[in-house]
Amino acid sequence: MTTFLKATEIPIRGARTLPGSWYTSPAVYERELERIFVERWLCACRAAEIANPGDFVVRCVGPESVIVTRDESGSVRAFYNVCRHRGSRICEEARGHFEEGIQCPYHAWTYALDGRLIGAPHMRGLEGFDPADYPLHAVAVAEWEGFVFINLSRAPEPFAQAFAPLIGRFARFGMPELVLAERITYDVRANWKLVHENYSECYHCSPVHPALVRLTPSNSGENDLYEGPFLGGYMVIAKPGGSLTMSGRPCGLPVGELPADDRQRVYYYSIFPNMLLSLHPDYVMVHTLWPDGPGRTHITCDWLFHPGTLSDPAYDPHDGVAFWDMTNRQDWHVCELSQLGVASRAYTPGPYAPRESLAAAFDAQVKAALGEGA
């Protein structure tokens, strides 16, 4: 049985915010890349973005570039975007389609969609050269709820083990069948941890999000995941049958077969380290975070709907998109203010409020990942 606790019921044991250097130091950022973004499973894309063999997207993890594609058998593959000849970057575009394999633009070495080297001009007969010795370097991949995850570790924790608390947990929302209605990308001048911390609490909602708190009381939340890499729970939609939209009305068909309680709730989960999952009765919103140095984060926000919504004139998906685009920008603004503040010599760690218990739990997870004490 799932146990829900209010944020104020989760002990924070005198937790304080992180030191300023954890948000501003290039050295801390480099440690995070190696200990967190290389070692953990990262949400890379929707499986539907690479629906057909040869479709691809490219994702950057710090200085690394990764190609995510689908091979001729339909299996998802991921490779470092590095040619095995002289190391040239292969793909320059963020997304596209491979017509006849994966070809390096420098010397035309060509790879099959499963990574095998199948063409190396003028290399035939070279003593000791065997194409089988030069496949693209593979990156581990996994699929969950319609999303593709990648892991750059040489010995990644098995996905089923790492994500055990989430396997099957959200099946009722039908996420694999949902379709993308809109995507907005944001360039936020703030550390990726400040974005996570902001997402993990609604202590700030009344001063920052007046439209949001009219639709869902800021103190209505309860949490069922409150330690470890996955954190979150639900907040209540105040109006029966309402939604988090500009109009306050649903903007789509129900995303799945939801029980009565879920039709009056929005669930918010941070999935360490780069995914924020927001489950509404009529749509699902997903943020993916891609740090670019200690003081900048690229964020992609997707809005996913039941397929029938997009052809039903009774619904306007943009009603929900506009609401959250407004709310996102309010959040990014205060995150950027925080980034400016923690860079000051006057900043010292402050005490977390009881309603910020999940932000404190997120910090604890970062410390554990970096081998730091609580």
Q: Please give the full DSSP string across 188-241, using - where no structure is assigned.
A: ESS-HHHHHHHHT--TTHHHH-HHHHHHS-TT--EEEEESSSEEEEEEE-SSTT
Comparing C-alpha atoms, which of 322, 310, 319 is closest to residue 179?
A: 310
pLDDT digit string (tens) for 251-275? 999 999 999 999 999 999 999 999 9
* Per-residue pLDDT, 221: 85
Comparing C-alpha atoms, which of 268, 272, 289 is closest to residue 335?
A: 289
Q: At 342, is the pLDDT very low, low, confident or very high (cuts 50, 70, 90)?
A: very high
Residues whose CB is less than 8 angstroms from the CB of residue 177 and which lie 6 or more positions away in sequence, other chains included: 146, 306, 307
Written as six digits, the tokens of 104 are 């390096």
Residues whose CB is less than 8 angstroms from the CB of residue 296 and which lie 6 or more positions away in sequence, other chains included: 187, 188, 189, 190
* Per-residue pLDDT, 125: 86
Q: What gap in Å lies between CA 148 and CA 144, rounded to an integer?
A: 7
Residue 374 has pLDDT above 70, yes or no: no
Q: How many angstroms separate the first and last alpha carbons of the chain? A: 29
Percent of the chain with pLDDT over 90: 97
Residue 373 has pLDDT above 80, yes or no: no
Position 86, amino acid:
R
Residues 253, 317 contacting (CB under 8 angstroms): no
Segment 295-311 mean pLDDT:
98
Positions of E strands within 105-219: 110-111, 117-119, 140-144, 147-151, 179-188
Q: What gap in Å lies between CA 29 and CA 27, rounded to an integer?
A: 5
Percentage helix, strand, coil for the chain under 3-state DSSP, each rounded to 5: 30, 25, 45
Residue 331 has pLDDT above 90, yes or no: yes
Residue 127 has pLDDT above 90, yes or no: yes
> SS3 for 10?
coil
> How do the domains of the chain map onto residue ranges?
7-39+169-369, 42-156
* CATH architecture, range 42-156: 3-layer Sandwich (2.102)
Q: Dmax of the chain from CA atoms? A: 75
Q: What gap in Å lies between CA 60 and CA 278, rounded to an integer?
A: 24
pLDDT digit string (tens) for 170-187? 999 999 999 999 999 999
Written as six digits, the tokens of 151 are 């892991």
Q: What gap in Å lies between CA 273 and CA 337, rounded to an integer?
A: 22
Percent of the chain with pLDDT over 70: 99
Whether residue 273 has a cis bond before it, omega within 30° of 0: yes
pLDDT digit string (tens) for 154-163? 999 999 999 9
Written as six digits, the tokens of 54 are 């040869």
Q: Is the dihedral of CA 208, 210, 211, 212 positive or negative?
A: positive
Q: At 56, is the pLDDT very low, low, confident or very high (cuts 50, 70, 90)?
A: very high
What is the CA angle 26-29-32, rounded to 5? 155
Comparing C-alpha atoms, which of 307, 88, 29 is closest to residue 180?
A: 307
* CATH architecture, range 7-39+169-369: Alpha-Beta Complex (3.90)
* Per-residue pLDDT, 308: 98
Segment 193-202 mean pLDDT:
98
Q: What gap in Å lies between CA 268 and CA 278, rounded to an integer?
A: 5
Residue 214 has pLDDT above 90, yes or no: yes
Segment 328-357 mean pLDDT:
98
> SS3 for 150?
strand
Q: What gap in Å lies between CA 100 and CA 113, rounded to an integer?
A: 9
The string of DSSP codes covering 47-60 is GGGG-STTEEEEEE
Mean pLDDT across the chain: 97
